[in-house]
Amino acid sequence: MIFVRSLLFNTAFVVWTALMCVGLLWILLLPRDQMMAVVRWYLSSIAWMERTILGLRYEVRGLENVPAQGSFIIAAKHQSAWETMKLHLIFHDPAVILKRELTWIPTWGWYAQKSRMIAVDRGARGRALTSMIENSRPVVAEGRPIVIFPQGTRVAPGKHINYRVGVGVLYDELKLPIVPVALNAGLYWPRRSFLKKPGTIVVEILPPIAPGLTRAQVMQELETRLEEATERLVVAAGGPPTARPRTEPKGAMASTTF
């Protein structure tokens, strides 16, 4: 049954997305806020497909921890493609930090550019962090939240990858609070997997980390809180605990990769 549901959903998802990418090209001519309303409608239609075909729902906890106004940094766990869509429904008009190459994808990249995401050239080495900060400042001026995945890639439940320095640089340079977001989406929508499972994904928004800590302090605080909360959600849903290394490499903080 899971295979049949996954086959139906994956087919519907690909066909519907392709139709929308082409059929909605006209919204690129609309003002940005109107275009984003249509984009959120599309994302809501995908959530409806998940509920109807897969039997996959989601629950959001801790909405009271979202700052009432102004810009802030959303530091979210990244386990699958699921959260890249749902964060746009959970938070109001977030700007996601992404690889510049993604904005070159025909059609999809045009929407990303019009949405004013934060594109970063990861091949620029020392310039990568500088460009990330420069491209984030207009987003801050608009009062929009910024989404960054602290580990820089999708990480399966139970696995551990060191946090990258990018989130600490954003916090330090922009003087914004960090809102950690834990989740267990990878148990139901695994990375690089055809099969998707029914159930309820839990997204937990943790209390913000206020500005004022050193870069090293905020990195340690974020990783401790976010990993503990994510492991709790994963284990509660029947997933594996996180296999952490015995010691953290001290050189990890020096990486220029975001």
Position with higher pLDDT, 124 vs 237: 237
Residue 220 counted as domain residue: yes
Helix axes 32-49, 82-90, angle to 10 degrees: 120
Residue 40 counted as domain residue: no
Q: What confidence tens digit (pLDDT) does each residue in 168-216 have?
A: 999 999 999 999 999 999 999 998 899 999 999 999 999 999 999 999 9
Residue 206 counted as domain residue: yes
Residue 208 counted as domain residue: yes
Q: What confidence tens digit (pLDDT) does each residue in 9-57 have?
A: 999 999 999 999 999 999 999 999 999 999 999 999 999 999 999 999 9
Q: Where do we find the tokens 């766990």?
A: 77
Residue 108 counted as domain residue: yes
Number of structural domains the chain divides into: 1
**pLDDT for 250:** 40
51-60, 97-106, 140-149: least confidently modelled range: 97-106
Res 247 pLDDT > 90? no
Residue 137 counted as domain residue: yes
Residue 37 counted as domain residue: no
Helix or strand (DSSP H, E) at 98:
strand 95-99
Q: Which domain range does residue 89 map to? A: 57-254
**pLDDT for 246:** 59
CA distance to 12, 21, 197, per residue, from 36 (Å): 22, 13, 29
Longest Cα–Cα distance of the chain, Å, equals 53
Residue 51 counted as domain residue: no
Transcribe 39-75 into DSSP letters: HHHHHHHHHHHIIIII-EEEEEE-GGGS-SSS--EEE
Residue 217: band (very low, low, confident or very high) from pLDDT cuts 50, 70, 90: very high
